[in-house]
């Protein structure tokens, strides 16, 4: 496919780099799965503390959430990797990878879960308390399962974003999928084929995750509710 710029499309080129792309993809999956699991855990835990209005802790959580939600993830990544060592905290690329995704996704999920928990109607909890449940027990058996289900769609959205945003690690040269592709382009100059290839990989995985998320959401949908 020669054209104005003298560019020749060479689809066979991708096959030669499958091995490198594969190990890049593994790193992408590694940092995003830790990041996603962590973001889920942080979200539930801090979201619960926040909705239970536990003093002090609740305000600290607000500060965490607002700082991470109102600044760009890319700048957070730069800060973690290049600036923190100046004040004595040095992390590897891998650590910055999952940690930045966890902190970012966690901040959004705290909000998602808090909103979910607060959306559970007071009547349920009161009924539960009347039956003799303690406040923590009422939370665990009523607010948590119902609230988490309400929060589920926005939570899965954020988790998929965590996966997509693992590509930001190209900025700190951590060799995940995007960085691997950029490095292959740096020596082979085949920019079209390479970005087409990883575009298809990302899109395919995001599509699979959306299917999975949809199935989970349907399974846990509150019957007749909300």
Partner 1 sequence: MAPWVGPVASYLATGLRETALLALACVAASLLAGTLVGSVLTLPSRAVRAPARVYVEIWRGLPIIIILYFIFFVLPIIGLRVDTFGAAVIGLSLWGSANVAEVVRGAVQSVPRGQAEAAAALGFSWTGRMRYVLLPQAARRALPPLIGLVVNLIQQTSLAAVIGLLDILEASQRSIERLTLSGGSSHAVPILGAVLAVYFVICLPLTMLSRWYERRLH
Partner 2 sequence: MHTVRSKFGIVIGAAMVMVLAAGCSSSSSSSGGSSASAGGSGGATATGSPVDVGAPLPDEVKSKGKLTVGVKCDYPPFGYIDESSKNAGFEIDIAHQLASYAFGDPNALTLTCVTGSNRVSFLTSKRIDLIEATMNYTQERAQTIDFSTPYFDSGVKLLVPKDSPITSFGQLAGKSVISISGATASLWLSQCMKDVKQSLFTETSQALTALNQKRGVAFAQDDTLLLDLAAKNSALKVVGDAKADSPWGMGVRKGDTQMLTWLNAALAHLQQADFFWTDFRKTVTDTSVQQQFAKYVPRPGSNLTYPSGSTLQC
Q: How far is the CB of 45 from partner 1 (least distance, A)?
A: 21
Does 208 help bind partner 1 (rule: CB under 8 A)? Answer: no
Half-sphere exposure of 76 (CA within 13 A, CB side): 22
Tell me the DSSP string of 20-75.
HHHHHHHHHHHHHHHHHHHHHHHHHHHHHHHHTT-TTHHHHHHHHHHHHHSS-HHH
Q: Rule CB under 8 A: which of 147-166 touch partner 1?
A: 164-165
Q: What share of the chain is helix, strand, coil (3-state, %, to 5)?
A: 80, 0, 20
Query: Binding marks (x or -) toward partner 1, 77..96, rule CB under 8 A?
Result: -xx--xxx-xx---------
Structure tokens, 50: 């926040």
- On whether the CB atoms of residues 17 and 184 are closer than 8 A, the answer is yes
For residue 170, which of 160, 158, 183 has the smallest C-alpha distance? 183
Question: Rounded distance, CA 61 to CA 107, Å?
Answer: 9
Phi-psi category of 72—alpha, beta or left, where left has phi over 0 and alpha has psi -120 to 50? beta
Among 26, 41, 137, 203, binds partner 1 (CB under 8 A): 203
Q: How far is the CB of 89 from partner 2 (least distance, A)?
A: 11
The CA angle 92-205-18, to the nearest 5 degrees, is 70
Does 64 help bind partner 1 (rule: CB under 8 A)? Answer: no
Size of the site for partner 2 (CB under 8 A): 20
Residue 187 binds which entry of partner 2, partner 1, none, with Cβ cut-offs from 5 to 8 Å by kind?
A: partner 2
Query: Binding marks (x or -) toward partner 2, 70..89, rule CB under 8 A?
Result: ------------x--xxx--
Does 157 help bind partner 2 (rule: CB under 8 A)? Answer: no
Does 9 help bind partner 2 (rule: CB under 8 A)? Answer: no
Query: Rule CB under 8 A: which residues touch partner 2?
Result: 5-7, 82, 85-87, 90, 92, 172-173, 175, 179, 182-183, 185-187, 189, 191
Query: Rule CB under 8 A: which residues touch partner 1?
Result: 3-5, 7, 66-67, 69-76, 78-79, 82-84, 86-87, 164-165, 167-168, 170-171, 178, 191-192, 195, 198-199, 202-203, 206-207, 210
């Amino acid at each position: 496919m020669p054209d104005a710029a003298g560019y020749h499309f060479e689809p066979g080129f991708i096959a030669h780099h499958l091995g490198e792309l594969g190990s890049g993809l593994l790193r992408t999956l590694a940092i995003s799965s830790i990041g996603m699991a962590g973001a889920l855990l942080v979200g539930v835990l801090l979201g619960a503390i926040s909705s239970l209005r536990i003093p002090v802790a609740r305000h600290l959580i607000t500060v965490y959430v607002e700082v991470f939600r109102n600044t760009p993830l890319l700048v957070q990544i730069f800060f973690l990797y290049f600036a923190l060592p100046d004040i004595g905290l040095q992390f590897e690329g891998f650590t910055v990878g999952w940690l930045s995704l966890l902190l970012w996704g966690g901040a959004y999920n705290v909000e998602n879960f808090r909103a979910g928990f607060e959306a559970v109607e007071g009547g349920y909890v009161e009924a539960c308390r009347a039956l003799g449940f303690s406040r923590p027990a009422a939370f665990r058996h009523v607010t948590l399962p119902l609230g988490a289900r309400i929060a589920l769609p926005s939570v899965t959205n954020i988790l998929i974003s965590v996966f997509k945003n693992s590509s930001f690690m190209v900025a700190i040269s951590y060799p995940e999928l995007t960085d691997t592709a950029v490095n292959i382009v740096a020596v082979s100059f085949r920019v079209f084929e390479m970005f087409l290839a990883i575009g298809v990989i990302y899109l395919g995985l995001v599509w699979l995750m959306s299917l999975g998320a949809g199935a989970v959401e349907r399974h846990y949908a509150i019957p007749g509710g909300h």
